[in-house]
Amino acid sequence: MAVNGNPTVRRRRLGGELRWLRQACGLTSTQVAEQLLISQPKISLLENGRRAIKPRDVRDLCGLYGVTDPQVVDALMRQARESDRQGWWVAFGEVPYAVYIGLETEAASIRSYEPLVIPGLLQTPAYARAVIEETIPLATAEQIATRLEVRLRRQHRAHHPARPFRLWVVLDESALRRVVGTPEIMREQLAYLNHLGAQPHITVQVLPHDVGAHPGVSGQFSILHFTADAAGAGTVYLERFTSDLYLEKRSDVQHYSAMHDHLQAQALNPDSTRHFITRAAEELAAAT
């Protein structure tokens, strides 16, 4: 997949939805090709996101697959019309996690678990700069500035007044206790986290240390769902230092969704979380 391939990301998402719809109605790609009088390789290329897809193709496939909900059909056709549009981050050059940004930009909701740091969408500028500076060895000043600008630009989507996505974050207590940058930066970050957690489209829950072992001990993960997703579909994102992982099998998405459900149940509720974060900030101030 191209590093800055937002068109590829969009086509990949759309192709995955069309593949799921085909499989749900019990048709093979060969049978679809025969009924629509096109080649079987074209169906494979469309479903793999390796070929541009036209709204007319989407309409014909939806008709064959028995999709009657006009909202679903319109959403898929809109994806087809927008599939070749370049993403805003292309202007920043080679962004390491451009594929994820493409998915994040298209997402209708994101559920994530973060064990070590505050997630990028909820970071203050000072905290974000400190995280980038302290976690990327040998980064140049220019690279740090670019990553910071991209991270802050990503936050526009999370706080979009007309169409913000639904964001549900479970944070391990370690992310609150680890002082990133300076105590002043950390206190500002904790106050900002409480402010964002009060927004109607953002939920923040803290998982205290005293809950013991839990399904998130294996590390960070995010589950992204999209407007046109069929039930149970989506993408699981696992962030790694050199190469990230993207899981799209329904069984994988369901597995991580169940993990997030368990984490939500074990974590403090949103009101208790706000009190917990406030106490953490007070304890940090007293200690310094």
CB 197 within 8 A of CB 273: yes
* Structural domains for the chain: 6-82 (1.10.260.40), 104-287 (no CATH)
Q: What SS3 state is found at 281?
A: helix
Q: What is the tens place of the pLDDT at every residue in 175-212? A: 999 999 999 999 999 999 999 999 999 999 999 999 99
Amino acid at 156: H
CA dihedral 264, 196, 127, 90 (to 10 degrees): 90
In this prediction, residue 51 carries a pLDDT of 81
In this prediction, residue 177 carries a pLDDT of 96
> Is residue 244 predicted with pLDDT exceeding 50?
yes
In this prediction, residue 198 carries a pLDDT of 94
> Is residue 15 predicted with pLDDT exceeding 70?
yes
Q: What SS3 state is found at 225?
A: strand
> Is residue 216 predicted with pLDDT exceeding 50?
yes
Place of tokens 């240390």: 209
The structure's pTM equals 0.75
**2 band by pLDDT with thresholds 50, 70 and 90:** very low
Average pLDDT, stretch 30-49? 88
Of the candidates 248, 224, 249, 227, the residue with the CA atom closest to the CA atom of residue 73: 227
3-state secondary structure string across 156-172: HHHCCCCCCCEEEEEEE
In this prediction, residue 6 carries a pLDDT of 47
Q: What SS3 state is found at 88?
A: helix
**5 band by pLDDT with thresholds 50, 70 and 90:** very low
